[in-house]
Structure 1
Amino acid sequence: MNPKILFVFALLLNLVSNSFQNPNPKTPKSTSSQAHVELINHGLPAGLLPATTVLGYAVNRTSGDFTVKLGGACKITLPPDNYVATYSDTITGKIVKGKIAELEGIRVRAFFKWWSITGIRSSGDDIVFEVGMVTAKYPSKNFDDSPACEGQHSSS
């Protein structure tokens, strides 16, 4: 099987397996940070960020450049095949309505290699994840609630 197809399948398992559904996706939970609310305000689900302490969030309203400071690096192990996704303690990118570009700080481990998620965009009822030239599409409702972190990680 083509390694790119396998990678997309692994990414699908990573992202969908770790998501939870919120009965009202437009209303963030009371424990949501301003960064989670900002995602919703830009037409993206809050569950794209983990349910962890957000120490700081800044966005340049003109350029869309943003920085999210988490309370620490976050690891998420996804069943059934134990794929690992990681969030760095600092996530940066450029956010505009329905899209995050130039994303840094979120990676997924598949086929013995770490792959950076470089962009995320909304497409109708779906979310499209970009990993270089490869994309994977999932129902956005799968990302209404934030996944829980398992702890610190190392991506080396």
Structure 2
Amino acid sequence: MNPKLLFVFVFLLNLICDSFQNPNPKTLKLAPSPAHLELANYGFPVGLLPAATVLGYAVNRTSGDFSVRLGSACKITLPPDNYVATFSDNISGKIVKGKIAEIDGIRVRAFFKWWSITGIRSSGDDILFDVGMVTKKFPSKNFDRSPGCEGQHSAW
């Protein structure tokens, strides 16, 4: 990979991930859904999933394949730099204790480009986000509450 391109990619990833450090003031204050609680069973904070209406979820405990079906796609503006994150109405991947891989359905926009978050790992008191070959670490306490979707109200 071109060193200049790699530098730009790492710089952008840092900007994207830094926006996760300051949780959205519109956070989930009601009881989380069973899908949110399922995250805790695998060692993750509930705030990795937005405070959207969860119509259903499934986890294959043997293969780790999971899917979450939201009532609609969800857009969140992440403070303080106002990056936009989107969650598709269907989110899928593979989950095992402390690791989510092959994520499909979560993207962050920065500098006119959409970046897919492809993996998330829990490591002690930290959460590590994978975007391509770059990883960024944040305190898991930043994700103790689910951010609210813009223009929508949670049904629970």
Paired positions, count: 146
Gaps of 5+ in 1: 23-28
Per the alignment, residue 124 of structure 1 pairs with 124
Instruction: Check the 8 A contact 1:14/1:85 in 2, yes or no.
Output: no
Among candidates 19, 23, 29, match of residue 18 of structure 1: 23
C-alpha spacing 1:95/1:19, structure 2 compared with 1 (3 Å): farther
1:4 aligns to 2:18 (yes or no): no
Per the alignment, residue 62 of structure 2 pairs with 62
How far off its partner does 1:30 sit?
Answer: 5.8
Instruction: Check the 8 A contact 1:19/1:47 in 2, yes or no.
Output: no
Identity %: 69
How far off its partner does 1:148 sit?
Answer: 0.7
1:102 aligns to 2:107 (yes or no): no
State the Cα RMSD in Å.
2.1
- With 29-38 and 97-106 compared, the bigger mean Cα shift is at 29-38
Structure 1 stretches of 4+ with a deviation exceeding 3 A read: none
Provide TM-score, normalisation by structure 2. Answer: 0.86
Instruction: Check the 8 A contact 1:44/1:122 in 2, yes or no.
Output: yes
**1:7-156 map, 5 Å:** 7-18=12-23, 31-151=31-151
